[in-house]
Amino acid sequence: MHRIILLILISVLVISCTRNEQGLPPGLRGGGFKISNLQEHQFVLDGMSELSIPYEIGKDGMVNFMQNDKAAVLGLIRKARYGQQLRSNVFESTIVFDQQHFELLKAAFEAENIPYRDETLQGARRVEWVQTYGPQVDLIIQQVGFERAKGYN
């Protein structure tokens, strides 16, 4: 009797844990995020589920997603932190990985007439812009990710 109860408990535990990770289909990964504020973290996960964005949660708690969903995920993270209203007094940024990455970002920002700054902070190069351009930049970051991946194949 105890063995049956133990087997049932193990089965329930395994099933409940696997449902937390939807898994990712084959393709280019878009990166991941880990938000320390649990309410913001849950807001983003709920939004991803509502938009049918596949994700997986790693052992370290990092939420990984596909590159073609990157713009939507960045938008959800912004909404979780700042709400619906885009602000002209908030700056956002992305890390620049190498010169090719910078050139792709620069060309895309200039093509869309989005003002930006090339900054180095604590040894990390980044491109910075005003949050009001956030949704446009989310799409740029997503597209540049695909362009960079082409260069490595």
Containing domain of residue 147, as a range?
A: 86-153
pLDDT in tens, 96-118: 999 999 999 999 999 999 999 99
Of 85, 120, 139, the residue at which a domain comes to its end is 85
> How many Å separate Cα 134 from the centre of its chain?
13
Q: Rounded to the nearest 5°, which phi and psi values hold at 122?
A: 50, 40
User: How does residue 152 score in pLDDT terms, banded at 50, 70 and 90?
Assistant: low
In a domain, residue 49? The reply is yes
The CATH number covering residue 104 comes to 3.30.70
> What digits encode the pLDDT tens for the residues 37-84?
999 999 999 999 999 999 999 999 999 999 999 999 999 999 999 999
Number of domains in the chain: 2
Residues 52 and 72 in one domain: yes
